[in-house]
Chains A and B, each alone.
Chain A
Amino acid sequence: MGAYLLLSTLLLGSIVFAVTIGPANISAAEVWTSILHHLGIGESSLSVLRDGIVWQLRLPRVLTAAAVGAGLALAGVVMQAVTRNPLADPYLLGLSSGASLGAVAVLLIGVSLLLPVAAFIGAMIALALTLLLAGAFGRITPGRTVLAGIAVSALAGAVTSLVIFWTVTGDSYREILGWLLGSLASARWSSVWIGLAAIAVAGIPVMLTGRLLDSFAFGDTSAATLGVNVQAARWSLLTASAVLTAAMVSVSGSIGFVGLILPHAVRLLTGPRHRLLLPLSALLGASFLIWADTAARSMFDPRELPVGIVTAIFGAPVFALLLAARRTET
C-alpha cells in the first residue's frame, strides 16, 4: 500500500512539475488553475496564450508520455513472464518493429488506415510470424520464440528501412528518423486518448493477471499443473502486449528500453511476484517516461532529442548490468 501511495504521488507530482518546465515560465499553481478550469472547476486567471501552452501543448505531451511509459512497462512485465526471459521487452517478439512497419506504411506509402490500427495490424502480423516461425520446426519453446522474434524484427526493420529509402526525400528524413527513434514531439490530445484507451482495454486487464503470471515461474508444465490453460493464457497475454505496444508505437514511435528496465527496477522494490509488480511498474514507467521526455525536450533547448535516445542512454548500461548479474548467477 505504501508503495502505491508513493508511486502515485510521484506520478501526479511528475505530471504537474513536468508541465512547468519549458521555455515559457509557468508555475505549478498556474498548471493546477488551468487543469481545474478545463475540468470545469473555477475560473482561469491565465492569459489565453499561457493557458494554451499548458492545455494544448505541454499537458497532452506529458500525459501521452505517462500512458506510453505505463503501457510499455506493462508489456515488458508480461513478455518477461510468459517467455521466462528476464531480458524480454516489447521489442523482443518483433512487436515494436511490426508496429513501426505498420505505421510507416500509413505515413509514407499512404495505406489508408488509422495509424494505431495499422500499427496494431503490423504488431499482430509480426507476433504471428514469430510464433509461426518458432513452431515451424517443432514445439514452441521460449528460447525458439526469442530467436524467431529476432529474425522477424530484423525483417520488419529491413522492410521499414526500404520503404523509407524509396519514399523519403530531403528534410522529411530527419522527421521520420526522429519518429523511428521514438519521439513525443507530435503528441496531442488525440495521442492521449489513444494511449489511455489502450491502457483501459489491455493494460488494466493485464494488471489483474498477477497470479496467472506467477504460475509461469517454473515453466509451462508447472503452470499447467497449477490449473492454467497454458496456450490460451500465453496467447491472450501476448495479444494484450501487442495491443499495448502497437498503441504506444502509433503515438510515439518505438521507444526502447522502458519495457526492459522498468520491471527490473520495480522488482528491487516489490520482489519478483507479479501482483504488485504489474501496477507499480505501470506507475513508475509513467513517471520515468515523463522525465525522460522532459530531459529530451529541454536538455538542448531549443533543439529536441528523440526521447528514444534518452531512454537508450539510460537503458543500455542497465541492460549490460543485467547481463553481468546473470553471468555470475549461472
Chain B
Amino acid sequence: MNGLEAVGVSVEIERKQILDGVSFNAPSGELTALIGPNGAGKSTLLHTIAGASVGRVSGQVLFEGEDLLRMPRRRRAQRIALVEQEAHTELALSVQEAVSLGRIPHLGPFGTETEKDTDLVFQSIAAAGLSTSEFAGREIAGLSGGEKQRVLLAKALAQEPELLLLDEPTNHLDIAAQLSVLNLLRRLGDSKITSIAAIHDLGLAVAYADQVVVLFSGKVVASGPVESTITPDLIADVFRVRAQVLKDPDGNRKVFALSPLDQD
C-alpha cells in the first residue's frame, strides 16, 4: 500500500501559489488518475514529484517511504520517469537514439552502453506499442503526434522506473490509440510499476484508473478509489457539468452521461 505519499505539498512559481497543501496517496502497482479542470495544477504536481519543478516547493513527497524531494538527482532519475505532455527536440534523433536517452541515469556521464542497454531500449520501444523493425531507425521529426507520444513513453520505460508519471498521455492520440495506451498503463501494474497519470478525459479516467485524485485550484478536493470517489455531485462542483450515472452493461464500472449544468 505504500506507493507514493504526498504530504502537504505546496508549490509557488513566480509568486503565484500553484499547489496548496496537496496530500494524497497513490498505492504501489496501481494506476492513479489525476483529474481536474485546466489550470488546476496537475502538470505542476507531476513535475514536482519528478524533481523537475521550477518553483519553490515545500512539503514531503515519499515514495516507498523515501523522501523524493531530498533524494540525490541521479538516484531519483533511476526510479522515477516522467512522460511530458509536449516535448520537442531540435535534434535529428532516431527513435532508438531518443529512447536510449532514458538509459542516461543508469549509465551516468561516462558509462558505456552495453548490449543490455540496447536490449532494454528495443523492449521499451516494443512495449510502447511501436514496431521496432519499422520505427527504431526512423527520425522523430517524421513521426505523427501519436507516434511521438509513444516514443516519449518508450524513453520513460527505458529508465526502468518504479514510478511512472504521465502528463496527459492520451492527448494526441485517436480514440483507439488512447485505449491502447491506457491498457498498456494498466498492464504496467502487473509488473509492479506504480503510475500516476493526468488524464483529461473524465470517462477514460473512470474507466481505466484504480485510484483518482481530484485537483481544483491547486487543492485536492477528493481522492480515493474511483468507484467511491467520483460522484455526480463532485463532477458538478469541479467540472461545472451535470453527470448522470448509467449502468455499464458488461462490467461493474460506472459510466457517466455528461450534460451542461442548467443555466439558473
Contacts and interface: CB of A to CB of B under 8 A. Distances in A.
Given A217-B93, A227-B74, A272-B92, A222 B84 contact: yes
Most chain A CB atoms below 10 A, which of B92, B102, B159: B92
B50 A273 contact: no
A271 B94 CA distance: 9
Contact of A226 (B90, B93, B101): B101
Interface string B50-65: 1110100000000000
Contacts of A327: none
Interface in B69-96: 73-78, 80-82, 84, 87-94
Contacts of B141: 329
Interface in A201-239: 208-209, 211-212, 214-215, 217-222, 224-229
Contact of A225 (B82, B90, B110): B82
Given A86-B90, A214-B104, A272-B93, A225 B81 contact: yes
A218 B73 CA distance: 18
A226 B87 contact: no
Contacts of B80: 225
Interface string A289-330: 000000000000000000000000000000000000000010
Given A211-B107, A222-B87, A225-B82, A217 B101 contact: yes
Contacts of A84: 89-90
B14 interface: yes
30 contacts: A84-B89, A138-B14, A139-B54, A208-B109, A211-B109, A215-B101, A215-B104, A217-B89, A218-B84, A218-B87, A218-B98, A218-B101, A220-B52, A221-B47, A221-B52, A221-B84, A222-B82, A222-B84, A222-B87, A222-B101, A224-B52, A225-B50, A225-B51, A225-B81, A226-B102, A227-B74, A227-B75, A228-B73, A272-B97, A273-B97
Interface of A: 84-86, 138-139, 208-209, 211-212, 214-215, 217-222, 224-229, 267, 271-273, 329
Given A225-B52, A226-B105, A267-B92, 10 more contacts: A84-B89, A138-B14, A139-B14, A219-B89, A222-B101, A225-B81, A226-B102, A227-B76, A227-B77, A272-B93
Please name the 10 residue pairs, one residue from A and one from B, whose CB atoms are nearest each other, closest first: A227-B77, A224-B52, A227-B74, A272-B91, A218-B87, A227-B73, A227-B105, A225-B82, A221-B52, A226-B104
